[in-house]
Structure formats: C-alpha cells, structure tokens
Structure 1
Amino acid sequence: MRYVSIFSGVEAATLAWEPLGWEPVAFSEIEPFPCAVLAERWPDVPNLGDVTKVDWKNEINGAVDLVVGGSPCQSFSVAGKREGLKGASGLMFEYIRCVQQLRPRWFLWENVPGALTSENGDAFGQLLREMDELGYCLAWRILDAQFFGVAQRRRRLFLVGHLGAESPAEVLFEPDCLSGNPQSSREKRKELTRQAVRSASCSGFKYAAASRASVGKNVFCMTGTQAHCHISDEISGYLTAHIGKDDAPVVVIDSNPENAANEAFGFAQNTRNEVRIVGDGTISGALAANPGMKQTTFVCTSDYASAPLVRRLTPLECERLQGFPDNHTRISWKGKPAEECPDGPRYKAIGNSMAVPVMRWLGERIEAVDRL
C-alpha cells in the first residue's frame, strides 16, 4: 500500500504502518520541530512542506493507494473558539484538494469529535458532500485510544472513504456492531476485556484494566505544586485566582494509603479548570499540545512513606501514551544534541499527533477489506 501523509506531524501513521509493509511516498508538514523529526527518522521520504503550495499531480510519481491526514482541529474543537472552517480547520479543503488530485482508492481523515457539530454540522456535511461528489463511499466513527492498549482517554473522529460503490463500513465496524441487538457499553467493555485476556492478538478493540488499589472512602486533599504535595486530611489547599497554575488543589482518593506505595494514578485538568481523576485513575486525559494550559494531565505517585509527588507527565511518558517508540521525538534540535532536546516542542508534537495503536488497527482493517 503506497500512501501520502499530509499534516504529517511526527508521523503516527508511518509508525503504525511500517510493520504492515506500507510505503510512505511523501509527507507534508510545515512546523519546524515535526519537520526535524521527520528528517531524522525518515530521511529518504520527501517532505513537501506547506500543503497549500503543493501541486500533487506533479509532485507525486506513480499511483497512490491511500491519503491520510488529520487537518487542524483547533477551530472545530469544543475547547476552542468554534470558528469552524473560517479558522485553522479550514485547511480541511486542502485535504479535499489532495484527494481530488491523487484519486487514491482509500482515504483516512482524522479530527476531534467536535468536527461533527461545528457550524451546526455544516462543516462536516460539506466534507461528506465534497467526497461523495468525488465518487467515494464513506463511513465514520469515533474511536477512543484507551481501548487500543494505551492508558489515554483520547476520543477522535475517523472518516474512511473508498473509491467506488463498495462501502468502507467494514473497516470501522465489526460485524457484531451491525447487528440488530447491540450490547450495552458496559456489557461490551466486559466482553472486550475477556477477549483481550483470552488472546493478546485478537482483532478489534483491546481493553485491559490496569491494576490499582481499590477506591474507598478515605479522601486526602493536596495542593499540587509539581513537587511534593502537602496532605491535609479532608482540607483543601488555598484556592487561587488562576486555577490550573502550579498551585491548583488536587484530591487523592484511596481506600488504604499504606498499601498504595509505588502506585501512580492520573488527574486531568479539563476545559473548565476542574482537576479530577480520569476514570479510575489508571488512564490519562487526552494529551494536549500545550501542557500547562487547559487539559493538562498530572501524575500522582502515591508513595505515602514520604510526601506524595504530583507532577506533569514527562515527554517520554507522553510518547508511550500515544504508542510511540521511546524517545521518538528526542532529536538534535537547534544545534543541541538529542540529550538536550527541550521538552516544549516535544509536548506540542506529541499532543498534536494520533495514537499509533489506533492507526495500526485502522491500517489492518483497511488492508483486510482491500483484499476482499
């Protein structure tokens, strides 16, 4: 399968599809740091740069089987200004232009769930109409990375198109999803857990809960400083005028602190500046491109032998939460060796990327359907 990746970032798609033997024909990325990562990791794959300036017919030699990309999501996101296609998300039209000129058998478009409701659904509706007029049959679904083997709650919208009359629904939906009596979400999760335990190589979603001390009645309030926290039983630290800064109050819930040593669990700050445990604390919130702003995930290492530690996730941990190889974004940068690569551009590149296991699953499904 030969593919072109646009809005490439640090190439979660290629990390996912290399084991499948797929060939990246070209990337298209403009941000300096991701461009440096692409040059470091895939020096033989051309990066065509600014997507708005690429003449796809002249730049790409030979047929392309698939176009993949996640056009900018900022103005689609419910956490943003909701500018829709008038904002950065208007680059969706460049994705359409690429598909129009290359005419691949398949395309895969990724974005935030807010794309479905932006401009009262008109923005996504326009994408569907444009692709339909190009002759593509379409299917879309929201997938959550936490069910694919990474400890991150990351819900993303995926639109798959197949040129011709055959529906691509089989890529996104397992046969039992199309039956008339679907399981409840709770029943489905239990069944998926059983499947993952029975077979590590099962297809479809994979979900296995991480181990953690059971949540009980004891509540401990702490003031997070990204250093050691001060426990004051049932009493919060002082509230600040700018919650979300380093002194935000955090709450730790655990049934038995004495048994919680060496365990870690996560807190996420949401768009309303609320800091809370994500699920049962074994998964992180969706990684943001600008940690320190809203939607930041913190980790509490609950070693009660000393004061507990609350800190921000490290770039390495963020890479693992996206399913990247360790230190994928740790490169030589601005004349400094990889060992001195700054955290800021790494956080941004990782937060803007896709989850590798989700992309691997989609690639496997596309390949399976393509062979039919």
Structure 2
Amino acid sequence: MPQPTIGSLFAGIGGFDEGFEKAGYRTAWQVELNPTNRAVLADRFPHATQHEDVRHCGANNLQSVDVITAGFPCQDISNAGSRPGNQHTRGLQGQRSGLFWEVIRILQETQPRWVVLENVVNLLAINDSRDFQTVVRALADSGYVGCWRVLNAQYFGVPQQRRRIFLVAGHHRMPPIELLADAAPVDAIPPASQSQPWPRPADAWAANTLLANKAGSQIAMGCTTFVAHPNGWHQMVERQRTSDDDGLCLGLDASNLAEAFAAGNAVVPQIAQWIAEKLIKAH
C-alpha cells in the first residue's frame, strides 16, 4: 500500500506533522502564514510543499491527501485573548478564528478521508456553546462525521498542563472507536500537599519549562512558581554582573520570544502521534 499522506493547515512549526510522520504518514504540503515558522518547516520537512496563506489555497494548488489537520487560530476563542469588560469573545465571527471557514471550504474542495481539528477547550463554551455547535454542523454539512475529545499533554509525557480539544471526523465514515474508548493507564497526580525535597532545583518545576502556566506561550517570570535556595543572594549578584560585563540577557530577547510563541501555539507531537496511530489502522 502507498504511504498515507497528510496536509497541514495552520501548520505552525509542525507539531501535527511531526506526530503523524512518526506514526507512518508523509507530509505532502503545509500552509503557514508566519515566515519564521515557515523557515522551521522548510528545515524539518524539506519534502513538503509550502504555501503561505490559507485563503489562497484549495483544490487548484493542494495535492489530494488522506488526512488534513488544522489547529485553526484561537485568538478569538481563548480566554487568554479576552479583554476586561468583554464577557463574550467574538469566536468564529472574529477575524482570526473565523478562518475556520477556510478549513471547511478546503475540505469541501479536496475531500480528504479524514480531518483532525485542534483548538482551546473554551471552544466548547464560547457564545453559550453555539460556536461548537456551528463547527460540528459545518463538518456534518460537508460530509464529515466523527467524535471529539479533550486531551491533556501531561498524560503523553509532556511536563505541562495543556488541555486541548481535538475533533476527528471521516468523510462519510466514522473514525476508529479507540479514539474515544481507549483503556490506556493514567498515572496518579501527586497531591499539592506532598512533601518536596529542599532546596528544589529550578528545572524540576514544570512552570520553569518553555511552555509554562495556562498560556502555552508564556514563561513564568513572576512569582507563579517561587524557587528559593538558602543563602543564594550571591547568585543574583553574579547574574547581574554577568549581564553587565558580557551583555547576556536577563529576560527574553526577540528570538527567545519568537521561539516561546511558536512552541506555545504548536500541537503537542505526542498527542498527534497517538491520534495518527489510530487513524492509520483504518487504511
């Protein structure tokens, strides 16, 4: 059998692509607007054709694939993007998250066997759940039926609380039931009151990893997680002296920030691989 293929909309730095390729798929094409992200994609997926704007893509320039993945923009859906005084974000009516309709258009034009969508969990609740109903109805009207599930990165070997909703649908066919009814073991979460060794190294806290806190693209720089070392004042002095003498940054520079946002917006490859391993059996 030929190797199954995927096409990646809103590809970012290739989280979906990485996971699906580890499961046995080949990435045929990627659509990504950010030039920095496209440079990462070109380096990691040289065999894939790159496109820049989802609004300019369709059956006229996209190769037929078995699966289309799309982590469509969440800025108008996420709680992190809301503003004080706005009890309702714009959702699918927003300029960014409204690009979901480009996904639907491309599905109707190319009709892949499967589609996998990803977004923040707030998609389930925004605008009194009407937007999620719209997503499901739009997929069904395009011939796609399936299931959805909230998956947390912490159960896939990633040291981060990162809950995201994934929708998997097939063209006139249901996806494998294992996507909903798996019996994989889940490790117990230690209680917050559990005693911790002291002093605790800074890199032992998940909050000090690149993807910290509720916002995936945020590094904890306040007192969200306070790491204390007895008699450690001299370390702060030495760090300041190093910054003054050698010009080393105490915080984030432009490249650090770009990396943090790219990683924060990416789909966790381990979760993508888990989904892909279920779908590839259906080929």
TM-score w.r.t. the length of structure 2 is 0.78
Counterpart residue type for residue 66 of structure 1 = V
Q: Give runs of aligned pairs for residues 123-134 of structure 1, distance below 5 A.
A: 123-134=131-142
Match of 2:93 among 70, 82, 86: 86
Query: Does the 8 A contact of 2:15 with 2:268 survive in 1?
Result: yes
Q: Determine if contact 1:263/1:302 at 8 Å carries over to the other structure.
A: no
> 1:4·1:68 contact (CA, 8 Å) conserved in 2?
yes
Q: Is the 8 A contact 2:212 2:219 kept in 1?
A: no
Contact 1:145 1:155 in 2 (8 A): yes
Counterparts in 2 of 1:208 and 1:35: CA distance versus 1, 3 Å: farther
Instruction: Choose which of 15, 19, 26 in structure 1 pairs with 2:18.
Output: 15
Match of 2:271 in 1: 358
- Structure 2 match to 1:156: 164
Residue 75, structure 1, aligned to residue 3, structure 2: no
User: What is residue 265 of structure 1 aligned with on the other side?
Assistant: 205
Retained in 1: the 8 A contact 2:147–2:180?
A: no
Provide the C-alpha distance between the structure 2 equivalents of 1:128 and 1:308, rounded to a whole number of angstroms: 57
**Number of matched pairs:** 256
Post-superposition CA distance 1:237-296 (Å, at most 9, x none): xxxxxxxxxxxxxxxxx5x636x468732459xxxxxxxxxxxx9x95345335479xx8
Superposition pairs of residues 305-324 of structure 1, within 5 angstroms: 306=232
Give the match for residue 117 of structure 1. 125
Distance across 2 between alignment mates of 1:23 and 1:111 = 23
Per-residue deviation, 1:192:
2.2
Shift of 1:18: 2.0
Q: Which amino acid is the alignment partner of residue 65 of structure 2?
A: V
- The 5 Å alignment of 1:210-359 reads 215-216=194-195, 254=196, 257=198, 260=200, 264-267=204-207, 284-289=212-217, 291=219, 303-304=229-230, 306=232, 342-359=255-272
Larger radius of gyration: 1
> Which one scores higher on RCO, CA 8 angstroms, separation ≥ 6?
2
CA 302–24 in structure 1, closer or farther in 2 if over 3 Å, else same: same
Tell me which of 2, 7, 11 is aligned to 1:4. 7
Going from structure 1 to structure 2, the CA distance change for 1:262 and 1:32 (only over 3 Å counts) comes to: closer
Cα distance in 1 for residues equivalent to 2:234 and 2:274: 37
**Following the alignment from structure 1 to structure 2, what is the Cα–Cα distance between the partners of residues 46 and 353?**
19
Q: Any conservation in 1 of the 2:213–2:220 contact (CA below 8 Å)?
A: no
| Structure 1 residues 174-213: Cα deviation after superposition (integer angstroms, max 9, x where no partner) | 256xxxxxxxxxxxxxx824xxxxxxxxxxxxx4769x99
Question: CA offset at residue 20 of structure 1?
Answer: 2.4
Structure 1: 5+ residue stretches without partners: 177-190, 194-206, 217-253, 269-280, 311-339
Structure 2: gaps of 5 or more residues: 83-88, 237-252
Letter of the structure 1 residue corresponding to residue 167 of structure 2: L
Give deviations 1:62-89, integer Å, cap 9, x for gaps.
Answer: x311100110001111222311122211
- Match for residue 37 of structure 1 among 23, 36, 40: 40
**Structure with greater helix share of residues:** 2
C-alpha displacement of 1:98:
1.4
